[in-house]
Amino acid sequence: MLGLINRSIETFLTDTHGAALCARVRRRADLPGESYEPLLQYDDAQALRLIDAACDELGRARSEFLEDLGAHLCSREAVRRLLRYGGCDYRGFLNSLNELNDRARMAIPDLKLPDLHLVATQSGQFRLRVAADLPGWGAVLAGILRAMADDYGSLALIEVSPRVAGGDLRDPGPIAETVTIQLLDATHAEARQFALARMIGEV
């Protein structure tokens, strides 16, 4: 897994709970080194240990923690802007999720994000299938979708379905989770500002 992902977990911890807590979590997870280099690869197990240690330290459920992590990602202006390129409204953004993985790879070829597949159901809902090698991406995506709904000024109900009980854990295939999105009001509030070509380097 690219260090970028581990680093964003650390940044989330530092931004919301302080550097001291992040250091405690790292110790609890017994991680080598001081931090992660965003563009180097690390063992997947490290990310899982980091997440578990953070949940233990904060006494929070994993799904909650991961949703907040997703929302926090979108609060970072650089990430928010890249996501806003997806579409000029929330519906467009939702549809762009199908190519999020390819878009990410366009920027960083080593970055492996889950495969996303969005379908519109007959009842006017959207269902996002999140398939990845590791569990938990569904919750991260739910956090991202909530934060981006706010960003676009849309009112949406977002839920993660728990993983199918009784699913074969030895199944070598990717883990699929489902996020359902009910778009109640696309123009509920004013969208946050997004100018296409903010000059590079400006923050």
What does the binding site for other proteins look like in residue numbers (CB under 8 A)?
4, 37-39, 78, 81-82, 85, 88, 103, 106-108, 195-201
State how far the Cα of 100 lies from the Cα of 80, in Å rounded to an integer: 13
- Residue 196 CB, shortest distance to other proteins, in Å, is 5
Which run of H or E residues covers position 161?
strand 155-161
Name the residue nearer to other proteins (CB basis): 2 or 132: 2
- Residue 5 CB, shortest distance to other proteins, in Å, is 13
Name the residue nearer to other proteins (CB basis): 173 or 201: 201
Name the residue nearer to other proteins (CB basis): 4 or 131: 4
- Residue 153 CB, shortest distance to other proteins, in Å, is 16
Type of residue numbered 187: T
- Residue 175 CB, shortest distance to other proteins, in Å, is 27
State how far the Cα of 198 lies from the Cα of 117, in Å rounded to an integer: 30
Q: At what angle do helices 77-84 and 62-75 cross, to 10 degrees?
A: 80
Name the residue nearer to other proteins (CB basis): 165 or 200: 200
Which run of H or E residues covers position 119?
strand 115-120
Residue carrying the six token digits 């690390």: 42
- For 150-169, give one letter per residue: b (16+ CB within 10 A) or e: bbbbbbbebebeeeeeeeee
- Residue 95 CB, shortest distance to other proteins, in Å, is 13
Q: At what angle do helices 19-29 and 3-17 cross, to 10 degrees?
A: 130
Name the residue nearer to other proteins (CB basis): 4 or 120: 4
